[in-house]
Amino acid sequence: MLRRARTYAGILLALSILVAVATPILLAKPSPTQYIYSLIVGDRDSFGHSLFAFDGYRLQPISVPTRANLTDIKWRHDGRYALISGTNGTLLKYDGTSFDEIAPSELGPGANPNTISFKSISWSPDDSQALIVGVNRTFETPYSKVTTSHGIIYNFDGHSLTRLRNDEFLGYNSVEWNPDGSYALLVGYSSQNFFHSYGARFEVSEPPSDLHMPGNDSLNTIEWHLNPTFAFIGGDVSNQAKNATLYMYDEDKVTLLPTAESTNPSCCFLNDAHIIRYIVFREDTGEGLIVGNKGLVILIDPQGNMTRIRNFTSLDGRVVDLHHLADLYSARWAPGEEAIYAVGNNSTIVRISQRTVSLLTQACLPVTVERPCSPTTFRSISMVVSHITFTNDRATLRAYWSNNPPSIAALLAGFFASIWSAYFVGTWSRYFAWIWLAYSGLFVLAFMVAVLAAVFKYGGSSEAEKTVKSEPETV
């Protein structure tokens, strides 16, 4: 009986310890492991690298199954994988660990990958399809000496690639789906009769519907505002004047925005020709950014007011005119931060925060110890939230940010800290908490005393009974 009682007491003690440790861990509800990865694509450097992971300070090359220059990278909204476009008809799927290359045979009958250059990718809001646009430069006849530009539009449904358009005398530089997914906008140029701007509204089942674009310059980028009817379109130097082209699209109406300092004193151009390469808006606040050639950086506040930034902080801490920086081709907001990262030629990466532009790296990429320098042109930067660890050639890629899973000790400390702040902070709650703890402590103490008393009581009588029964009878 004593042995059985001790066994029950041991089991009770083990269960008490298990409950005491497991309950805080369960109640703490640790968040799943999460990473933010920043990937940059661009022209091949002298080592053959065209894709890099960027952790906010350093670059880490990623091996890709192509020798083409890469032009754009866009992740599905759910973060499952990205599409990466490039020259020579290159289109890759990348999920953070492996690549799938879209076969050249899927480019369509008669298509020559060597003449196709994809420029821009846009996923539909529901991730059911992606539009990929670019240029196909071909000789119309065997006797032609100059290539003719064809604007190409492809649709990718997650499994197969379909050519939708191959429009002569056009070139598509950028595409973006409307936020409600009903149609997309295309911008680029037309070379028919003379070189001039081109823009169109496009529905997958219909031919492009041309927009009236009065300029004679190439349009390079388009981005939708938080308001789903507004979009901004940027391009080259406008009508030979010394300011870049900037349009606002509003339900099929296109308006040229004033960017000359004579009409807009705080922004933007005065006797210095620039080209707008990229426009991006923050999804939660409506703040925007315009970047382009000659270090062009323009901030857009939620009300639409534009302010041009004129200087940047160099690597050695000096304040320098942005004209001496680089041509910037792409930019991306860091999730959950007040910071934007922009990339460009000469391997330039800058951080833009609180109206301050800071140079992070330029010219030399520390990709190997033996051969440390290889400048290139970065074409696009992306950021994605993921729950998996990205790898390349069995090596773990450095994340821009991660919330490493907390240890059991950290969970326990966090739980009891939350209990303390919840029950011991405040006048009345503190009194009630002490009363509750005192009552609970007395109850647990009484319970333990009762268990121990039962063990010794029943255990002692059982041994005495066994001793009496084992003694021989005497006459």
pLDDT per residue as tens digits for the range 151-183 = 999 999 999 999 999 999 999 999 999 999 999
pLDDT of residue 10: 59
- Please give the torsion angle defined by the CA atoms of residues 123, 344, 337 and 124, in that order, rounded to the nearest 10 degrees: 0
Query: Do residues 135 and 172 touch, judged by C-beta distance below 8 A?
Result: yes
* CA 245/CA 233 separation, integer angstroms: 8
pLDDT of residue 464: 46
pLDDT of residue 140: 61
Q: Which residues are CB-neighbours of 328 under 8 A, at least 6 positions away? A: 277, 278, 291, 292, 293, 295, 296, 297, 342, 343, 344, 348, 350
pLDDT of residue 397: 94
pLDDT of residue 466: 45
Q: Which residues are CB-neighbours of 402 under 8 A, at least 6 positions away? A: 33, 34, 35, 36
Residues of the chain with pLDDT under 70: 1-32, 139-146, 238-242, 261-266, 270-272, 363-373, 404-475
